[in-house]
Amino acid sequence: GESVGLHLPTLSVQEGDNSIINCAYSNSASDYFIWYKQESGKGPQFIIDIRSNMDKRQGQRVTVLLNKTVKHLSLQIAATQPGDSAVYFCAGGDSSYKLIFGSGTRLLVRP
Amino acid sequence: DARVTQTPRHKVTEMGQEVTMRCQPILGHNTVFWYRQTMMQGLELLAYFRNRAPLDDSGMPKDRFSAEMPDATLATLKIQPSEPRDSAVYFCASGLIPGGSSSDTQYFGPGTRLTVL
């Protein structure tokens, strides 16, 4: 069935290190994916998106990789900062434009 | 800085009472979504509209929930009567969808935290 899931519920990294958050999806019809960041008490905030015809997209300190063969995507955050501490969600969308969200990964940045 | 706004931010009510949550989408966005977030279920899509017309409300309990867009600047989600199991954070999101070559991103509001006693 349609689902987007995450491998790890919590990720703890040292400040300054790179973070990698993983996500698996099952809907082959998903043609775009979005990563959101949600801080406590706030709504999900758009970070970066990627279309299914791409395998990599870079933003400021973030990179999203998409592997359609194994239905997996990842979010890489370079030089992780305390302000990056949050819950990160991946979401997949298809031609209906409805997003299916994963369960989220909590990123903790150790000083 | 265009943002989705939601009111109220917090609502505490008693079981059986009517609850109305409001959302102002980003100006120019044609699609509005309502989500519910709980620890157990995560983010669930309740309903969405395009150009004010309801497209899908299959995620919404029909007997007590209703969603409307009286005009392009206001979306409402109503629960009547409310029950303790409705306690959650309700998010509104808007987007310009389809975006063509640009993203079909949904932009979220700050949410309404609902507690039904």
Least confident of A23-27, B11-15, B73-77, B113-117: A23-27
B3 pLDDT more than 60 = yes
Among A43, A44, A49, the residue with its CB nearest the CB of B103 is A49
Q: Find chain B residues with C-beta within 8 A of A104's C-beta.
A: 42
Measured between CA atoms, the residue of chain B closest to residue A35 is B105
A40 touches chain B (CB under 8 A): no
Size of chain B in residues: 117
* Cross-chain residue pair B105–A43, CB shorter than 8 Å: no
- Mean pLDDT of all residues in chain B? 93
Rounded-to-integer distance, Cα A92 and Cα A26, Å:
10
Phi-psi region of B72 (alpha: psi -120 to 50; beta: other; left: phi over 0): alpha
B83 Cβ neighbours under 8 A, 6+ residues apart:
B15, B64, B116
Is A37 or A4 the better-scoring residue by pLDDT?
A37
Q: How confident is the model at residue A4 (pLDDT cuts 50, 70, 90)?
A: low
A61 Rama class: left (phi>0) / alpha (psi -120 to 50) / beta: left
A92 touches B: beta carbon within 8 Å: no
Provide mean pLDDT across the span A89-93.
92
Q: How far is B83 from chain A (nearest CA, A)?
A: 23
Q: Tens of pLDDT along A28-83?
A: 888 899 999 999 999 999 999 999 899 999 999 999 999 999 999 999 999 999 99
DSSP letter for B25, please: P
CA distance B76 to B34: 9
- Nearest chain B residue to A95 by CA distance is B98
Judging contacts by C-beta atoms under 8 Å, the chain B residues touching residue A93 are 104
Give the residue from chain A lying closest to B42, CA to CA: A103
A99, A103, A105, best to mutate vs chain B, most B CBs in 10 Å: A99
